Every structure is written in C-alpha cells, then in structure tokens.
Structure 1
Amino acid sequence: MVLSEVRNFLARHSVEDRSVLLAVSGGIDSVTLLHALLELRNEFNLELSVAHLDHGLRGESSTGDAEFVRQLTAVLNLNSTIETRPVNQVAEQKSLSLEEAARSVRYDFLDEVATEESADFIALGHNRNDQAETILMNILRGAGLRGLGGMGERNGPYIRPLLNVPRDEIARYVEENQIEYRVDETNKDTSFTRNRIRHKLIPELEADYNSNVVDSLVRLGELARHARDFTAERVDEVVGEIKIDGGSGGICFNRKKLLKFHPYLQRATIRRLIGEAKGDLEDVSFSHVEEVLDKLRKEPASARLDLPGVAFSLDRDKCCFGTEIPVKDRITFRYELHPGEGTVVEEAGLEISANVKPLARGRDDFDFPSDRLIEVVDWRKVERPILIRNREYGDRFVPLGMDGEKKLKDFFIDLKIPREDRDRIPLVCDRNGVIWVVGYRIDDRYRVDETTNEIMTIKARKI
C-alpha cells in the first residue's frame, strides 16, 4: 500500500522531473518515505536530497539520530544537510512552547536548505493518523474550517506523500523490507499535547465511542477542506464587490456592501483582507476578527483598532486595513489673524478676514448674518493673539446653543464629516480655544449677548 499511495500522490501532484528535499528525522515515517521515493526515483526522474535538524533537546539521543541519518544517506549516496539549532533559546525568546518553537525552527531550516539547493519540493512524512491527531487537536482549540481541514497534501513547496497511509501500513512496510529506523522516546511523553491525544484520547475514543474515529476525523478534514475551498471562491467574489481604492490608506472596502453578506462570509472576508494587508495571518485570532466586525456593525461613523501587525480604521462606510493607517499625510496649518486684514488659508481654499466695530444698536436689533461663512462674536471675550489653524488632538468647544463642552472629533462625527476632510476645516482660535469652526458653528461662550458693545465679524471667502 505504501508504494502505491506514494506513486499515486506523485502522479496526482505532477511531482516528476523535479528535485525533492526530504525532511528525515530518522523516525519510522520519514525513513519509510525516503525508501519509497528511492524506489520510485527512476520512474519519476526525481533528484533526491536529505535535510535533518537536531533540535538539541534530547542530548545523546538527538546526536544519535543525526549520526543515523548521516550514515544512512552516505550508504544511499544522497546529499544531506545536517544541523543543530537552539530550540530552547527560540522558545524563551519568542514565548513559545517547545512544540511550537521546534516546529518554527524546523520549517525555517527546511526553507533555507531548499532555497540553497533550489529544491522544487520539500517532502514531509506525516501519515493518516497524524492527520487525525492534528484535526482533533484543532477541534479542541476551537478552530474554524482552516483548522478542521488539517494538513494539506500540498502547501506551496511542501508535500506529504504519506498523508493517506495509516500508521500500521507504514509499520508493515518497514517490517517487510527490513528497514532500520530510530525511535524517539519523547513521542511517548504525554506532557506534550499531541502525545496525549495519540496515546490517551484517541485510544479511548476508539474503545468507547467509535472504533473508526481516525477515518471519521480524516473524512471531516476532507469535507472541511472542500467547504474552505468553496468559501474561498465566494470570498473572491465578495472582495471584488466591496473593495475600493484606498490610495495610501491600505486595503480598503465599503462597509455597507460587506454587511449585506452572510455573517460567515463577513468573517472569512475580514480574515482575507487582514492577510492581504499584513502579508500573513500570524497571531490573528477569531477574537480579532470579531472585534472588527463589532465595530462595523455598531460604530456609527469612526473607529480604529490596533490588531497584530496591522491597523484597522473606520470612517463612516470606508474601512481600511494597513500596516500603518496614515492620517491622510497629515495636513497641518497655523496662521495669525489680524483684525482689518485678510489671511489666505491655501489648505482650505479660503481667505479669512476679521473686522472689529462697535455694536451700534442692542443685540435684539442686530441683524445676524445668515451666510454660514460669516460669523459675529463678542470682541470683549476674545483674548489675542487670534489664530487660524486646523484641528489638534483634544480640541473641545461649546457649540452655540449647548450648555456643555463637546469634543471637536464628536462634533465632526455627528455632522457626518468624512475623516479625510476634517484636517482642512479651519478653526479660528484665541488663547482660550476655539472661537469658530469655520462654516459650521461658533463657541457659545463668544456669542453676542445683552452686554456686548463691540463685535468682531469674521468672514471666510472661497478663493
């Protein structure tokens, strides 16, 4: 069975006239794969080489594994790369478990060797039982479709020719062919999650619940991968419909259009867009995706989230992911305004002028301007210098007619002013704060009242 499965795999994935780097630990699975590929080497015109990594975790046993692989490849006349790397150190530096650190270091090593040798494929020895264990472990972690799918037969350059071969068939193959291999005693150590699943949980499930649990888990993985592939096609369509030009703002999309789709597609699409913006989905969890969706569904106008390696911004219906969400290449301006003179504010496309004069009649007889680009305030309440600037962090004022202060940011949000326009809105200010949000509202504390005897008229003219 082993040889026929590997042969079918090579044909199915067009692994022919190619170079293959085999990851050989010295254990039964990788040694079986090595011998199977040697038997099929001429049939598929394969160029084979071997890579072995000593994780430095098992002392003399690790050294023995490396020596076994060195001698085996010498007898088989195969090129080999054998190295030792400090997994313990990586685990400590990156706050990873030993299992996670060993996996990370191992894949980095294989990628480097494959690049150096210009290998077309990297062959791994995972078998059918490994697949079932991986899927069950992912279920216990609360995985979605991606985790339920388990390992793929092929992921980029990585191939797993034994993935459909049960562990007992591999044992039969090595016995029939009298193949020697190494036994890793740590595989019996149930302090590791995978080993507990292998030696305790699955045997209990087989004994008390389902004698074919391995086959059931593998079938679940196949169905999940099909569902994942179907979802990916639908996500392609969704992305094409909702994506908008974000300029330098990153990967942007229209909120309303996304929220029309089924919640599952919403989640899958958010993951896709985060991946596009970030380059990968490392450290991005279900809860991060839910945080984004919560903002999309509940926030009326503006929000920002810092996610692992990427930022999310919401400005009404425009949503963006980016490694940095720029504040529109932040426009800043500041001018002094002198009564009797005009000041050109190029950033806003306006000329702003101010004139001071006595209030000839009482407030009740005064004709207040109806033009939104003209305002009148009580000159006595203004403390010079008078500045024209754009918004700054923490700006507050008391909008005319209100009793209390309001954040300028909230004022803009309430008026549904797009984020990208807010930096261009001039603020006429004095030493105490905002006098007039030009074109919108004055501060109530500067309004003309019954005690006013001198007024300042401020005009803005488009240029």
Structure 2
Amino acid sequence: NLNPRIDLTNLEPAYTRNRIRLELLPLLESQYNENIIPALIRLAGIAWEDKEYFYMQVEKAKYIVSREKESCKIDRHGYAGLHPAIGKRLINTCLKEMGLFQDMTAVHLAGADHLLRHGRTGDRIDFPGGYGLRLIYGKGELYRETEKTEDIEFCYPVVLHDNTLEIPELNALLRVRILQAKQDTELYRSKDNRFCECLDLAGKGIKDGIYIRTRRPGDYLIPLGMKGRKKIQDFFVDEKIPREERHRIPLLCFGQEVLWVVGHRLNDNYKVTEYTREIVCVEYVPLL
C-alpha cells in the first residue's frame, strides 16, 4: 500500500544519464535494433563474467606484490610475465587497497604498465591524490606522498676510548670499545650483527679526528675486498640502496675518507689483520 514518489528531474533531459534513457535508447530501439535493451542486458552479464575472471587472475598474481606499511612493492621480473589486462588491474587493486578509490584513468594505468615494463631505476609517474609509482632497481614501489621531511644532517666527534655517543637525529647510540687482542673481538662482534665492526686505526697512525656523520660531497672509501677507491655516491648506487634512505645512513669518517658505512661495508684499509695490536670496536645501536 505504498504510494511511489516520482522525481520529476528524471523526466528532464538535463543530465547525461537522463538523455541516454529518454532520447538515445528510444532512438536506437526504433531506428537500429528493436532488441537493443535485451542485448545490452546480455552484454552486461558477459562483462560481469569477464570481470570476475580477470580479478581471479589478479588474486593469483598477488604473489609478486609485497605489502609494506605505507607502500606496495611489485617485482618487475614477475610483472613482465603478466598480460597487460591483468597487470593494470593488479596496479589498480593495489592502489585501492592503499586508499585510492577514484580518479585513476586508463591513461594512468597504461603509463604505470609501461613504466614497470620498460622504465629505469629512478623513473616515476604521479597519480591523483598524491599517489605515485617509482622504480627502485628490481621493484616498482606504489606509494603515497606524505609530508616531506628535510634530509637530516649531523656530525659528532668519536673519542677513541671506551665510551657511548648519542645520535639524537637517528634515535641511536654509538658504542666504542678498545681491545688489545684479536680474539677478544668475538666477544663484541657477531657475524649476524651488521651494525658492529672492528677496525685497525692505530696501525694507520690515527689517534683522533674520527667523526660519525651524514654523507658529504667528495666522500669515498675502498670497499672491503677491493683495491680501488669509490665515491660514496657510486657505492650507494652499486649496493642498490634506495635514494630516500641514503641520507639516514651514518658514516664513520676520517676527513673525506669513509672508514665504515654503518650496516653495509668496512673500508679495506682499516680491516683487522694478524698484525693488528689495538682494535677499535664500534657498534651502532638503534633505540626502539
């Protein structure tokens, strides 16, 4: 016993949806195909089935995606094996899961697909809402641009005796221990701890002038196991360290020479040998 209410604006050809229903469909039905309405219904059903199948394949392809806190990383080698129809839907699905539900167009998805297949490290493409895709070596990272923070800078002198130094910019500590016998290093340095390193500084005549700091132009090192010097910028590139992380990596330095890229590589000139008499054991301790 309900009385329907009619929205009179639905009877006015003022909107595109109304013109399609009131003018275009009757014209197609009278002039071109009297069965246009049933045909469109059948087409909608076929499109729905196709969509279901496509997204089943997208679910299967998600093994190439690693979800992180504020981003999704897509393995480029795995992506190259996907059909573009699946690849683009995979990108769109990841962006929806990250919070981008609208304004993505076919042009955006085609650009992202091309970037993942043919782009080079450092290339990027922007999407609506501050989202984007950037290439980081073998990965394509979908991200949302947050408020940019300035690159941190710090420089603290390191005293060569037993002590602990605070690095507030990184919320971390730097512990220094002076050892006399090579075998003692095993008490402080674990093979599984990449944030602890032992150096021979006295053997090179270094007694002071050591600093823990961020990178500067002209910095260089001789990576452990190599003979030639390498610019720190080239080292970061060769080690595939993402650009946005490089300014947060502390460097133990003497002048422009990097003695230790904390967490990554020791300078070959300062490795401990059988002839080392005094060992400087340095440990970087991030605070939780």
Work out whether the TM-score is over 0.5: yes
For residues 233 and 322 of structure 1, the distance between their equivalents in structure 2, rounded to whole angstroms, comes to 24
Provide the secondary structure at the position in 1 that maps to 2:47. helix
- Residue 334 of structure 1 corresponds to 154
Partner AA of 1:389 in structure 2 = R
The answer as to whether partners of 1:258 and 1:266 remain within 8 angstroms in 2 is: yes
The answer as to whether partners of 2:10 and 2:18 remain within 8 angstroms in 1 is: yes
| 1:193/1:421 CA distance change after superposition, 3 Å | closer
- Residue 116 of structure 2 corresponds to 296
For residues 260 and 201 of structure 1, the distance between their equivalents in structure 2, rounded to whole angstroms, comes to 42
Provide the secondary structure at the position in 2 that maps to 1:296. helix
- Residue 243 of structure 1 corresponds to 65
RMSD: 4.6
Q: Give % identity.
A: 23
Computing the radius of gyration from Cα coordinates, the structure with the larger value is 1
For residues 20 and 84 of structure 2, the distance between their equivalents in structure 1, rounded to whole angstroms, comes to 33
- Residue 274 of structure 1 corresponds to 95
- Residue 251 of structure 2 corresponds to 426
Partner AA of 1:288 in structure 2 = H
For residues 191 and 354 of structure 1, the distance between their equivalents in structure 2, rounded to whole angstroms, comes to 86
Provide the secondary structure at the position in 1 that maps to 2:73. strand
| 1:186/1:254 CA distance change after superposition, 3 Å | same
For residues 211 and 429 of structure 1, the distance between their equivalents in structure 2, rounded to whole angstroms, comes to 85
- Which of structures 1 and 2 has the larger relative contact order (alpha carbons within 8 angstroms, sep 6+)? 2
The answer as to whether partners of 1:354 and 1:459 remain within 8 angstroms in 2 is: no
- Residue 205 of structure 1 corresponds to 28
Q: What aligned pairs does 1:29-428 form with structure 2 within 5 A after superposition? A: 72=2, 181-239=4-62, 241-244=63-66, 246=68, 248-278=69-99, 281-309=101-129, 310-323=131-144, 334-336=154-156, 346=174, 349-350=196-197, 388-391=212-215, 411=234, 414-419=237-242, 422=246, 423-424=248-249, 426=251, 428=253
Count, aligned residues: 224
| 1:221/1:190 CA distance change after superposition, 3 Å | same
Which of the two has greater helix per residue?
Answer: 1
TM-score (norm 1): 0.39
The answer as to whether partners of 1:389 and 1:426 remain within 8 angstroms in 2 is: yes
Partner AA of 1:203 in structure 2 = P
5+ unaligned residues in a row in structure 2: which ranges? 166-172, 175-193, 222-230, 262-266, 272-280, 283-288
TM-score (norm 2): 0.58
The answer as to whether partners of 2:79 and 2:117 remain within 8 angstroms in 1 is: no
Q: Deviations over 1:23-76 (max 9, x none)?
A: xxxxxxxxxxxx6xxxxxxxxxxxxxxxxxxxxxxxxxxxxxxxxxxxx5xxxx
Provide the secondary structure at the position in 2 that maps to 1:253. strand
For residues 437 and 302 of structure 1, the distance between their equivalents in structure 2, rounded to whole angstroms, comes to 25
The answer as to whether partners of 1:334 and 1:387 remain within 8 angstroms in 2 is: no
